Structure 1
Amino acid sequence: MQQRLTPGTVLLLVIPPLLWAGNAVVGRLVHTLIPPFTFNFLRWVLALLILLPMAGWALRRDAGVWQHWRRYSLLGLLGVGLYNTLQYLALQTSSPINVTLVAASMPMWMLAVGALFFGVAVTGRQILGALFSTAGVLVVLSRGQWAELLALRLVPGDLFMLLATISWSFYSWLLTRTKEPKAVRQDWAAFLLAQVVFGLAWSSVMTAGEWAITSPHMGWGWPLALALLFVAVGPAVLAYGCWGAGLQRVGPATAGFFSNLTPLFAALMSAAFLGEAPHLFHGVAFLLIVGGIVVSSRR
């Protein structure tokens, strides 16, 4: 049964967009140093090494994971193999602002996927909340000047980000369908490890194809090493663990609204790195996004 939003649940759902904002910034910074499929593969290899000491027991034959290999294979494909690979691929040709704009459609896709494929009714409050939340994202992207949005031009990378957003929507709804053993479900590290193992199988195939078809360049050095460490520890292990726990409490429809905090956090990070002070429109956007969360989650 889904719960009301509590401070603890809010914290669980705020941490992922904060870390994912950093993931988008880092992904753009290193896009010339490493090909996207390889970046995603190495990221999850490091995440696997982090999770193994914490939950390696989940891979034993009697733990129950292998009996549900179809479920974990699908979760691994959508959440580990596809979502971030498509995002990193999008950042090869698309600007961060365009990628963020496409990702802002997440609440709408969450509602649509839930209604069309999982039989979940969409309420008027959720639609109103989605409009509030999307308006908040547009305020951030336009920097309070709507003419800025008219200057945006879509590129092929934006299509990849749209596919990534749809993939994440299916992944989030599938997380709520409990089929695995209780011991694995209650241990977030074990649950994530099972997904990573199967996701790496998909990701390895994609990476092998990337190296076979293209002529990838690797710019090894401290910048790339630190980037890989960050995206493995933060946006992968911590963010996925918090997202899964928070989603179990309130459901994908409400959790999806928190994803729209990502562009706000990204804008604030950029302002901090560039030495710029936050502007009034950041406050307006925050109020709209939070308003969308509150409206959609009210009983």
Structure 2
Amino acid sequence: MNFSLRSSAFIGGFCALAATIIWSGNFVIARGLVDGVPPISLAFWRWTLAILVFLPFALKPMLRAWQPIRIHLGYLTLTALCGVTLFNTLIYIASHSTSAINLSLIAITFPIFVILLARFYWHERITRPKAIGVGLVIIGVINLVTQGKPSQLLSVEFAQGDIWMLAAAICFALYSVMVKRKPAALGAWAFQLITFIIGWVLLLPFYLWEASNTHFQIHEADLSILAAIAYVGVAASLLAFVLWGHAIALLGPTTPAIIYYSLPIFSGLAAYLFLGETLGSIHLLSASLILAGVILAIYRKDQAQR
């Protein structure tokens, strides 16, 4: 592997890890907003803020790329639907009707869907190190969410929210695979802004429907809710998606998906720091398994050939 390939791998890995860390904070904040903000409203206002912040920087690149945007409008619409309109909205809806253990278990299926979709669309090989790494990560995450008692899996009862969470995992896997097909004529900023806008437009009628049936108003929200929306709108929506798209452009969809498996580690750390939750030996063991699996899955000789 030459210096350029090593540099690309490092930058791509850093971007995927940074996006994962940001999203771990998003999960912690979202749990705290379950009773304060309706799910579609939370998704709508986060994307509204993301667009407003991104617009001054990406409007000109988007306008310059208007011709390829028109040509690839179908692809952009489907990508925006999966990654912007549906993904986080479904997570917020799911959090209202299922348990934390179920959400965590279903969330780990996302990289599996990415690997399968990448195999189907891009013919990426599922190497032995990758398979072993994924296995270690799954064991680590299951150990984490069951507190070292995997037998709890036998007593899990799936609620309606589990279906929403599974749909969210599939949507984000589709988004991650489709980002790899981004037309070369579309720059990263133009691509992100137009998908944000299209996804926001597709979400708008659902927001209006929810708003007509609830009493939540953004101008009446307290400062803590406004600060939380600012985080999910700027960091978890804008910054994390830009980082994630850059990671996929450099590494393909599979390796960032493996790195995403480390999300429970950062979510647990954030819960410890900000929510006062304790970290025990189960968390340390699970973190070790997850990190070992991620390293094994992404550090392989054929990385430079992809």
Q: Same fold (TM over 0.5)?
A: yes
> Which residue matches 2:157?
153
Equivalent position of 1:195 in the other structure:
195
TM-score by length of 1: 0.89
Cα deviation, 1:28-86, whole Å, max 9, x if unaligned, reads: 21122222112101110100001111111133265433332222111110100010010
Quick one: distance in 2 between partners of 1:104 and 1:279?
Answer: 21
Structure 1 residues 71, 143: CA separation in 2 closer, same or farther (over 3 Å shift)?
A: same
Whether contact under 8 Å (1:83, 1:167) holds in the other structure is yes
Task: Check conservation: 1:15, 1:242, Cα contact below 8 A.
Answer: yes
Shift of 1:148: 4.6
Q: Does 1:47 align with 2:50?
A: yes
In the alignment, which residue of structure 1 is the partner of 2:104? Answer: 100
> Quick check: 1:68–1:180 contact (8 Å CA) kept in 2?
no
Q: Would you say the 8 A contact 1:34–1:217 is kept in 2?
A: no
Q: Does residue 263 of structure 1 match 2:264?
A: yes
Cα shift at 1:3: 5.2
**How many residues matched?**
293
Q: Which residue number corresponds to residue 130 of structure 1?
A: 134
2:59 to 20, 36, 56: 56
- The residue that corresponds to 2:215 in the other structure is 217
Match of 1:139 in 2: 143
Question: Within 1, Cα distance between the matches of 2:82 and 2:284?
Answer: 34
Q: For the Cα contact (< 8 Å) 1:28–1:96, is it kept in 2?
A: no
Q: Which runs of 5+ in 2 are unaligned?
A: 302-306
TM-score normalized by structure 2?
A: 0.87
- More displaced stretch, 62-71 vs 130-139: 62-71
Q: Cα deviations across residues 176-224 of structure 1 (Å, max 9, x unaligned)?
A: 113141xx42xx4332112101111111132234345xx2231622222
For 1:79-94, what aligned pairs fall within 5 Å after superposition?
79-94=83-98
Q: Please name the residue that 2:177 is paired with.
A: 173
- In structure 2, C-alpha distance between the alignment counterparts of 1:72 and 1:225, rounded to whole Å: 30
- Preserved contact between residue 129 and residue 296 of structure 1 (Cα < 8 Å): yes
Unaligned runs of 5+ in 1: none
Contact 2:19 / 2:240 at 8 angstroms: preserved in 1? yes
| Structure 1 residue 117 displacement after superposition | 4.1
Q: Separation in 1 of the partners of 2:207 and 2:86?
A: 12
**Pick aligned residue for 2:38 from 30, 35, 38:** 35
Q: CA 1:178–1:246 in structure 2 vs 1: closer, same or farther (change >3 Å)? A: same
Match of 1:14 among 8, 13, 17: 17
Is 2:290 aligned against 1:289? Answer: yes
- 1:207 corresponds in structure 2 to 207
What RMSD over aligned residues (CA atoms) do the two structures have, in Å? 2.3
Judging changes above 3 Å, is the alpha-carbon distance between structure 1 residues 274 and 26 closer, same or farther for their aligned structure 2 residues? closer
1:28, 1:92 within 8 Å by CA — same for their partners in 2? no
Question: 1:275 and 1:164 mapped to 2: Cα distance?
Answer: 28
**Residues 208-249 of structure 1: per-residue CA shift (max 9 Å, x gap):** 34345xx22316222221111010111111111111111122
Q: Residue 262 of structure 1 aligns to which amino acid in structure 2? A: L
